[in-house]
C-alpha cells in the first residue's frame, strides 16, 4: 500500500484539528500541515479549493474532505483503503472541539480591548 499525499488545512489549537493530526499519527501518515490562522494565504487556498470556510479540511491524493473530524477522516481512509484498520488508540479525542467549546464548559475569559497608540 503506497503512502498517500496529504495536505491538511488546520488551526494550531483547535480540538477538531488535533483529532485529525492524531488520526494521521495513528496510521503513521506524513502530511503537510497548512496553518489557516497564521498564514492567510492557506485559508484563501482552502476556500478556493472547497468553496467553504470551515476546517479541518483535508486533501488526500487530490480528494477534498471539507469540515471533517478526525473520526470522519479515519472512516473515509478505511472505506477507500488508504489505510488498514489498527488497534492503536489515538493520542487525543478525534471527534470533539476544544475544551472551551464543549457543552457546559466555563465561558472563555473576556478578551482585552486592543491597544491604540496616539502620536
83: which residues sit within 8 A by CB, 6+ positions away? Answer: 1, 27, 29, 74, 77
Fold of 6-95: Glutaredoxin (3.40.30)
Per-residue pLDDT of 75-113, as tens digits, reads: 999 999 999 999 999 999 999 886 666 666 555 555 566
pTM of the model: 0.81
| Spans of all domains in the chain | 6-95
For residue 78, the number of C-alpha atoms closer than 13 Å in the C-beta half-sphere is 12
The predicted pLDDT at position 53 comes to 95
Amino acid at each position: 500500500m503506497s503512502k498517500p499525499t496529504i495536505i491538511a488545512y488546520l488551526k494550531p489549537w483547535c480540538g477538531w484539528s488535533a483529532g485529525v493530526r492524531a488520526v494521521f499519527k495513528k496510521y503513521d501518515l506524513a502530511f503537510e500541515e497548512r496553518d489557516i490562522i497564521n498564514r492567510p494565504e492557506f485559508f484563501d487556498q482552502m476556500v478556493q479549493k472547497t468553496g467553504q470556510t470551515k476546517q479541518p479540511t483535508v486533501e488526500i491524493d487530490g480528494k477534498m474532505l471539507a469540515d471533517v473530524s478526525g473520526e470522519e477522516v479515519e472512516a473515509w481512509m478505511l472505506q477507500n483503503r488508504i489505510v488498514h484498520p489498527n488497534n492503536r488508540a489515538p493520542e487525543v479525542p478525534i471527534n470533539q472541539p476544544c475544551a472551551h467549546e464543549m457543552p457546559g464548559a466555563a465561558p472563555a475569559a473576556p478578551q482585552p480591548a486592543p491597544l491604540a497608540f496616539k502620536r
